[in-house]
Amino acid sequence: MHLESNETSSTASKPSILDQGIVSLAAWLQDRSLPKYRAKQILGWVYQRRAESFEAMTDLPKGLRSELDAAFDFYRTKTIATQNSEDGTQKLLLQLPDGGRIECVLLRDGPRRSICVSSQVGCAMGCVFCASGLDGVERNLTRGEILEQMLKLQRLLPAEERLSHIVMMGMGEPLANLPRVLDALSVAKDSEIGLGISPRRITISTVGLPQSIDKLAEDKSPYHLAISLHAPNDTLRNQLVPVNKKIGIASILEAADRYFDATGRRLTFEYVLLKDLNDSQQCAEQLVKLLRGRTAMLNVIPYNPVPGLPYETPTAEVIHQFRRILMEAGINVMFRQRKGDDIQAACGQLRRLREKEPDLVELKR
């Protein structure tokens, strides 16, 4: 598969309201001799008042609602599968107008309501243990397609609850689609007409693309940066994350340090723990040497098995030993509790399952 140069859905007949900013929407209104202040009302309905249609925007004149409906699409994706976990995790499989499929997840953890959002259809990074990239990448998502995931997940919450955290860690490599990702996140953090989520609660995850990390540093990005390391040396990382052959861990860490120097935002390094591959005492000791002295959090995630792939979760004893080595060395480490194991919540799993079962409409537990 290939990455399309055209960033829009080829089958869409109208522009999406989610691709309109307040400036462009105000200009559209002005062209129709309508007051520009309506733009703020319209976008407030979209992002804050959870409207699902223009007709629901009851404080707008009926004629304007009709014009909006004729000019713009509202939701473009179709929810073709839903999974509900016993731990409160919910996963949606969305189909785009051109047939592409993406996943997004809502995670409940105490008072936190976090969402995991995709940035591409598929993924080109080729991490061998991840379901997202097994079929390659088809194209980047548009700003509107990224935002639509957030809104659909928001609607899973009762009216009195709101989203608290966003993680760009779904399908795809966010830094390979950086302009659209940043455009969508600018709406997510906008407290006036957007979702009003603090940038300190927004994380961009990446396998480590130094040039794009430097771009974030130059722009003094307000977001957390999470780098999916997965190995403490290039030999092993080349095996697990093939794109590393063109990059190298040293270049990634140097770019990460520049990001920290420019933004002051603490770094996070992600490390998926795979049985008999990167879970040894030697790997833990090498990780200590890489990360010691850095203002960073190491987030270790026991592997969430993917049907059809040969990788397994380490034993509890091995995980405990790995943790002990890191903690005794003074590394700031957190072992993340896996969510949604009973619904295959790891990226790309539901998409592949749905392709194998085309008549499946809804999955519930």
Whether residues 39 and 150 fall in one domain:
no
How far apart are the two ends of the chain, measured CA to CA in Å? 33
Reduced to 3 states, what is the DSSP secondary structure of residue 297? strand
Q: Which residues pair with 180 in a beta bridge?
A: none
pLDDT on residue 342: 55
Tens digits of residue pLDDT in 83-113: 999 989 999 999 999 999 999 999 999 999 9
Domain limit, last residue, from 29, 50, 71: 71
Whether residues 42 and 95 fall in one domain:
no
How large is the C-alpha radius of gyration of the chain? 21
| Residue 138 falls in the annotated catalytic set | no
Res. 13 pLDDT band, cuts 50 70 90: confident
Residue 4 belongs to some domain of the structure: no
Whether residues 102 and 188 fall in one domain:
yes
Whether residues 33 and 120 fall in one domain:
no
Burial-class residue 35 by CB neighbours within 10 Å (0-12, 13-18, 19+): exposed
Give the CATH number for residue 134.
3.20.20.70
Res. 327 pLDDT band, cuts 50 70 90: very high
Provide the number of structural domains found in the chain: 2
Judged against a pLDDT cut of 60, whether residue 11 lies above it is answered with no
Give the CATH number for residue 41.
1.10.150.530
Look up residue 161 and give its DSSP letter. Answer: -
How many residues are present in the chain? Answer: 365
pLDDT on residue 61: 96
Whether residues 87 and 36 fall in one domain:
no
Residue 2 belongs to some domain of the structure: no
Residue 283 belongs to some domain of the structure: yes
Whether residues 160 and 194 fall in one domain:
yes
| Mean pLDDT of all residues in 190-211 | 96
Domain limit, last residue, from 37, 56, 71: 71
Whether residues 93 and 182 fall in one domain:
yes
Whether residues 191 and 222 fall in one domain:
yes
Reduced to 3 states, what is the DSSP secondary structure of residue 128? coil
Whether residues 267 and 309 fall in one domain:
yes
Tens digits of residue pLDDT in 153-167: 999 999 999 999 999
Looking at 116, 123, 127, 347, which residue is catalytic? 347
Residue 363 belongs to some domain of the structure: no
Whether residues 287 and 339 fall in one domain:
yes
Classify each residue of 248-282 as buried b or exposed e, where b means 16 or more C-beta atoms within 10 Å of its C-beta.
ebebbbebbbbbbebbebebbbbbbbbbebbbbee
Looking at 103, 138, 145, 173, which residue is catalytic? 103
Residue 364 belongs to some domain of the structure: no
Q: Which residues pair with 113 in a beta bridge?
A: 108
β-bridge pairing 90-95 and 333-335: unpaired
List the domain range (segments joined by +) for residue 156: 78-356
Residue 134 belongs to some domain of the structure: yes
Whether residues 275 and 201 fall in one domain:
yes
Tens digits of residue pLDDT in 253-273: 999 999 999 999 989 999 999
Residue 302 belongs to some domain of the structure: yes
Whether residues 100 and 154 fall in one domain:
yes
Domain limit, last residue, from 27, 55, 71: 71
CA distance 336 to 327: 15
CA distances from 299 to 54, 58, 122, 296, 334 (A): 42, 46, 24, 10, 5
CA distance 37 to 91: 36
CA distance 51 to 53: 6
The alpha-helical segments, DSSP class H, found in the chain are 22-31, 38-47, 62-71, 143-154, 178-188, 210-218, 234-240, 249-263, 281-291, 316-328, 349-356
| Residue 127 falls in the annotated catalytic set | no
Tens digits of residue pLDDT in 284-306: 999 999 999 999 999 999 998 88
CA distance 71 to 257: 46
Residue 216 belongs to some domain of the structure: yes
Candidates 199, 225, 224, 222; CA nearest to 210 is: 225
